Amino acid sequence: MTTITNPAPSSTDSSTSAALATANASTQNLMSDTQNQFLNLLVTQLRNQDPMNPMDNAQVTSQIAQLSTVNGINQLNNTLLALSGQMDVSQSMQAANLIGKSVLVPGSKVSLGSDPTDPTIKNATPFGVDILSPATHVTATILDASGKAVRQVDLGAQPAGVLSLQWDGKADGGASAPDGAYTVQVTATDATAAPVSVQVLTSGIVGSVSHASNGVRLDLGLAGTVALSDVRKIM
């Protein structure tokens, strides 16, 4: 199992160049129109100025400086928009590599089922916990649909980070738990017995990747749809 990383840039470089070229062309057109309007206005001002109180060099220079500032801001905005759009497309292409892989995302669901070839063997979906700071005592509790504790596991001391876990499908007494849906609760404390922030993670297999208005989304089937940024670990 490996933690998520950002793949190195590849063929998206040409797409980025094309997006920047389009933004630059749009900016040039806008700058040309703005400059023409400014020059027409300036010439009109000069023609109709009061001969007894003509515009001085400082006024002309100030107006030219304002035009330059506006053009610079427009160019910067267009460039940032092009880069933002291209980053979204690049993220979608990179996320496509996750299809078929199991990932850990925020959630507390765990499913337990029997092996088709041997009903005595139980298979539970993996889960995990994101520990935000080092903890001296971490405990994971499996709850059934009614909220009753079925299994409690002492995980001991754990460093900060994502911890992958697997339930063997057994209850505290050693008997196999019934097939079905369960949830996980995790508590953690530090050396002073103060609570440590943790986030329970559930697993799902990426079936497809989509690009929506709210960013790149991963379809995890029964586990639902999550944002790419929700992925805590790739297994």
Task: Annotate 112-143 with three-state secondary structure.
Answer: EEEECCEEEEEEECCEEEEECCCEEEEEEEEE
Q: Which amino acid is at 42?
A: L
- Say what the pLDDT of residue 167 is: 94
Instruction: Report how many domains make up the chain.
Output: 2
CATH number at residue 179: 2.60.40.4070
Q: Is residue 220 part of a domain?
A: yes
Task: Supply angle C-alpha 107, 109, 114, rounded to 5.
Answer: 150
Tokens of 184: 């996980």
Does one domain contain both 200 and 147?
yes
**Gyration radius (Cα) of the chain, Å:** 30
Say yes or no: 58 and 122 in one domain.
no
3-state secondary structure of 219: strand
Which pLDDT value is given to residue 98?
Answer: 87
Tokens of 51: 């001969």
> What pLDDT score was predicted for residue 129?
96
Same domain for 93 and 183, yes or no, is no
Q: Is residue 4 part of a domain?
A: no
CA distance 84 to 87: 5
Question: Closest by alpha carbon to 49, among 32, 63, 36?
Answer: 63
Check residue 127 and give its pLDDT: 95
Same domain, 179 and 227: yes
In a domain, 46, yes or no: yes
Provide the pLDDT for residue 69: 72
- Which residues neighbour 118 within 8 Å (Cβ) at sequence distance 6 or greater? none
> In this structure, are 133 and 69 located in the same domain?
no
Where among 63, 98, 133 does a domain terminate?
A: 98
pLDDT tens-place string over residues 105-122: 999 999 999 888 887 788
Give the model's pLDDT for residue 13. Answer: 47
Q: Tokens for 154?
A: 């002492």
Q: How high is the pLDDT of residue 5?
A: 39
Low-confidence stretches of the chain (pLDDT < 50) are 1-13, 16
Check residue 12 and give its pLDDT: 43
Q: Clarify whether residues 28 and 125 are in a common domain.
A: no
Residue 157: inside a domain, yes or no?
yes
Domain that holds residue 21: 12-98
Q: Are strands 127-131 and 198-205 parallel, antiparallel or unpaired?
A: antiparallel
- Residue 6 inside a domain? The answer is no
In a domain, 109, yes or no: yes
Largest CA distance in the chain: 104
pLDDT reported for residue 125: 93
Domain membership of residue 1 (yes or no) is no
Same domain, 55 and 109: no
Domain for residue 3, yes or no? no
What pLDDT does residue 224 have? 87
Final residue of a structural domain among 40, 67, 98 = 98
Is the same domain home to 115 and 227? yes
Q: Are residues 112 and 187 in the same domain?
A: yes
Q: What is the pLDDT of residue 141?
A: 96
85 and 194 in one domain? Answer: no
DSSP 8-state assignment for residue 213: T
Cα–Cα distances (Å) from 122 to 98, 117, 209, in that order, read 27, 11, 31
Best CA proximity match to 141, nearest among 132, 151, 131: 151
